[in-house]
Amino acid sequence: MEDLKGVMCMSGQRLLIIDDEENMRHMLKIMLEKAGYEVETAQDGVEALERMEREEFDYILCDLRMPRMDGMTFIKQALEKYPEKTYIMMSAYGTVETALKAIKEGAYDYISKPFKTDEVLLTLKKAEERERLQRENVNLKDRLGAIEQRRSFGNIISRSEAMVRVFDLVERVAEHKTTVLITGESGTGKELIAKAIHSNGPRSKAPMVSINCGGIPENLLESELFGYKKGAFTDAAKDKPGRFEEADGGTLFLDEIGELPFPLQVKLLRVLQEEEITPLGGFGAKKIDVRVIAATAKDLRTEVEARRFREDLYYRINVLSIHLPPLRERRGDISLLSGYFIDQFNQKLHKAVEGLSSETMSIIMGYSWPGNVRELENVMERAVLLAPDRWITPEELPSRVVASQRDIPSIYPEDTLSIKEATKQMQQTLIRKALQKTGGNRTKAAELLEISRPMLISKIKEYHL
């Protein structure tokens, strides 16, 4: 008994005993105070509810048969106001049916009178253990949520370390007006990153205006960016604001800035430096407050060396650079994104596709995805639309994706049937390829291989690479 009391003693645990028999209240109060609880009493449900309005209790031990308000009425009313509390019912008239009814109403447990001291303490001990597990579950969910948050940003999801670093940069830069240059191949999600920067910063309530610098003819691009005044040219029947003016107070996203004509680069540089614009046909400059985010699939350093892009503009827009790796360098995201897109298109197309067959998964994991995430999204939409059953088979994939598998040389050795030896040879081959691709940069090679840098170094030593 002493051992049990030692286990039960928990400072700060407050308990309310509700019973119309004074002797029972007194006996339980003495017993539970010896076990380390702070105990208060009430003679019926009405008094108990009044006390619960004024004081905090962790556990309520309540009789079923009482005058004015019985235990069943009490628990119904108490649960409406205090659903988080733990209620334990007790009765000398208990039956299995009464116990089940009390638990169905929301009681945690049920004790039949007469009961032994150990029975009450063990019931409370179980209740405490349940609450401890609930707290641990909440903490675990919070921790998993924090981890998941690092793996996603808005509609962008990933499990690769490279993208986690991208999310970290987005979060850091979002609060500031700093000009950002987003680089990466077509289809990697540069505009989504730009939207994430805008929506997570202080300018989120102001507009984000986008313009594709390569999608508008050169003779129209200047007026699109800076606007024009009535009479500036033949068709200018009235004043028209440009994209910079539309984005005043918010963000302007200049997509494919590497396509910006050279003469306009000079004007853009002046706008970024002076924070003012002059519409076509206008006189005098107008101050603007715009955060600029640019994106390009081109290597702007090469463009600068080839004199196709101004060096001063390059340094002006490249205050902070965020690079999005292609999908082929983060293959762990292929299955994750596929599942995400399948869920999205199930809703859009009113389908009930559960996922990819094992053969289909093998094919998409081996495909190079030159169009990156955008291509994967389009392929999944097509597959969900065509899938006749719950699973997507190779028949629902485009022929280019399936055919690519025949062009991939096998990395598995043909001179051994030993799984251990084959695994070793395959790891050596992949590590050599990753080191060659990254010019010997072990950090980048580890990212491509999706292993930690210490593990890569260990493998290099093990295989004498």
Q: What is the pLDDT of residue 414?
A: 56
- Which residue blocks in 151-308 are alpha helix, DSSP H? 161-174, 190-199, 218-226, 243-246, 262-274, 300-305
- What whole-number distance in Å separates Cα of residue 106 and Cα of residue 121? 20
Q: What is the pLDDT of residue 2?
A: 39
Question: Can you say how many angstroms the Cα of residue 19 is from the centroid of all Cα atoms in its chain?
Answer: 50
Q: What is the pLDDT of residue 5?
A: 43
- What whole-number distance in Å separates Cα of residue 75 and Cα of residue 82? 10
Q: What is the pLDDT of residue 147?
A: 45
- 111: number of Cβ within 10 Å: 19
Superfamily of domain 153-325 in CATH is P-loop containing nucleotide triphosphate hydrolases (3.40.50.300)
Q: What is the pLDDT along the chain (465 residues), one digit of tens a residue?
A: 334 444 444 446 889 999 988 888 898 999 888 888 899 999 999 999 999 999 999 899 998 888 888 888 898 899 888 888 889 888 776 566 776 787 888 888 888 877 777 888 888 888 888 777 777 776 666 655 554 444 445 567 787 888 888 888 998 999 999 999 999 999 999 999 999 999 999 999 999 999 999 889 888 898 889 888 887 777 777 888 889 999 999 999 999 999 999 989 999 999 999 999 888 887 778 899 999 999 999 999 999 999 999 999 999 999 999 999 999 888 888 988 999 899 999 999 999 999 998 889 888 988 999 999 999 999 999 999 999 988 999 999 999 998 876 554 455 555 556 667 777 778 888 888 888 777 778 888 888 888 888 888 888 888 777
- What whole-number distance in Å separates Cα of residue 395 and Cα of residue 382? 11
Q: What is the pLDDT of residue 7?
A: 43
Domain 419-463 has CATH 1.10.10: yes
Helix (H, G, I), strand (E, B) or coil at 174: helix
Which residue ranges make up each domain of the chain?
2-139, 153-325, 328-407, 419-463
Superfamily of domain 2-139 in CATH is Response regulator (3.40.50.2300)
Q: What is the pLDDT of residue 153?
A: 58
The structure's pTM equals 0.57
Do domains 328-407 and 419-463 share one topology? The answer is: no
What are the residues facing 87 on neighbouring strands?
60
- What whole-number distance in Å separates Cα of residue 380 and Cα of residue 398? 10
Q: What is the pLDDT of residue 353?
A: 92
* Contact (Cβ atoms closer than 8 angstroms) between residue 85 and residue 60: yes
Domain 328-407 has CATH 1.10.8.60: yes
Q: What is the pLDDT of residue 11?
A: 46
Q: What is the pLDDT of residue 163?
A: 86
